[in-house]
């Protein structure tokens, strides 16, 4: 039901703002079209729409689970001076959180890996990054090198660094290199011996020179592989 006027007076300016807002926001008319309909300039249309927003005549309501994500992304960018932030929507099933975060990461990586300025990309491993590689859009980048930035485990799975690095490289038609050292050593002495090996030093030098890398923060629950 239309709202009633509080006082019996005619506000021609507000009437114009409402008619203009209806034409542009509801009918989808361009500002040029609205200017022609109402016999005003495009500048006047632009100013009037701004005034309608200031008065609360035009209010934007974004009805989507992703609206909270967009708000959080903007706050993260502003608060921490980031170039970009990507927030995944929350889900009722806690077991699907890694899938949602990984998928959001994979879509973001698609844009990063398609950038011609990206020549070396470092890739970690884990369940979230496993999902990320499955969400990456294919791209033809034979000049790109994907480099594993963490050691691996002795047991094989599709979460291991070899499988994840290979899958991502295949998506990009890219080259790839592995850090074939174990994820952790039994002692400081063992770690020192591994670090002195030339084959490992070469890969570590590559890791230090990557343009960007993907890592995920895991948890210390029973779901952790460590």
Q: Report which of 98, 89, 87, 86 is spatially closest to residue 125, judged by C-alpha positions.
A: 98
- Check residue 109 and give its pLDDT: 92
pTM: 0.68
- Check residue 4 and give its pLDDT: 58
- Check residue 1 and give its pLDDT: 47
Question: Domains in the chain, start-ordered, CATH in brackets?
Answer: 12-55 (1.10.10.10), 91-214 (3.40.50.1360)
- The count of other CB atoms within 10 Å of the CB of residue 117 is 6
Distances in Å between the Cα of 35 and the Cα atoms of 11, 45, 198, 215 are: 20, 6, 71, 52
- Check residue 223 and give its pLDDT: 62
Q: Are 124 and 214 in contact (CB under 8 A)?
A: yes
- Check residue 159 and give its pLDDT: 64
Q: Are 153 and 213 in contact (CB under 8 A)?
A: no
Return the H-helix or E-strand segment holding 147. Answer: strand 145-148
Q: How far is 109 from 120, CA to CA, in rounded Å?
A: 13
220 Rama sector, left if φ>0, alpha if ψ -120 to 50, beta otherwise: alpha
Q: To 10 degrees, what angle do helices 127-135 and 97-114 make? A: 50
Tokens of 221: 């629950």
Measured in degrees and rounded to the nearest 5, phi and psi for residue 147 equal: -125, 130
Q: How far is 216 from 99, CA to CA, in rounded Å?
A: 12
- Check residue 2 and give its pLDDT: 54
- Check residue 135 and give its pLDDT: 92
Cross-strand partners of 145: 120, 175
Consecutive 10-residue averages of pLDDT for the chain (226 residues): 58 89 92 94 95 90 84 93 89 86 91 93 90 92 92 64 89 90 79 79 88 81 61
Q: How far is 119 from 211, CA to CA, in rounded Å?
A: 7
Q: Are 131 and 159 in contact (CB under 8 A)?
A: no
- Check residue 125 and give its pLDDT: 85
Return the H-helix or E-strand segment holding 122. Answer: strand 120-123
Buried b (16+ CB within 10 A) or exposed e, 35-46: beeeeeeeebbe
């Amino acid at each position: 039901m239309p709202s009633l006027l509080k006082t019996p007076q005619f506000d021609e300016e507000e009437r114009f703002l409402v008619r203009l807002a209806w034409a542009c926001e509801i009918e989808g008319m361009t500002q040029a079209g609205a200017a022609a309909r109402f016999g005003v300039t495009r500048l006047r249309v632009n100013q009037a729409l701004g005034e309608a927003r200031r008065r609360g005549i035009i209010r934007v309501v974004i009805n989507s689970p992703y609206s909270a994500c967009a708000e959080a992304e903007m706050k993260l960018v502003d608060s921490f001076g980031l170039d970009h932030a990507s927030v995944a929507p929350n889900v009722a099933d806690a077991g699907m959180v890694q899938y949602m975060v990984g998928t959001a990461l994979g879509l973001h990586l698609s844009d990063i890996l398609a950038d011609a300025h990206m020549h070396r990309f470092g890739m970690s491993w884990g369940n979230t990054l496993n999902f990320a590689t499955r969400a990456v859009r294919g791209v033809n980048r034979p000049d790109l090198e994907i480099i594993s930035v963490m050691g691996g485990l002795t047991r094989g799975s599709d979460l291991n660094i070899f499988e994840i690095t290979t899958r991502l490289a295949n998506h990009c038609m890219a080259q790839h290199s592995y850090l074939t050292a174990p994820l952790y050593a039994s002692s400081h002495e063992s770690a020192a011996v591994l670090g002195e090996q030339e084959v490992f030093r070469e890969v570590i030098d590559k890791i230090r020179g990557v343009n960007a890398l993907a890592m995920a923060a895991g948890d210390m629950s029973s779901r952790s592989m460590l």
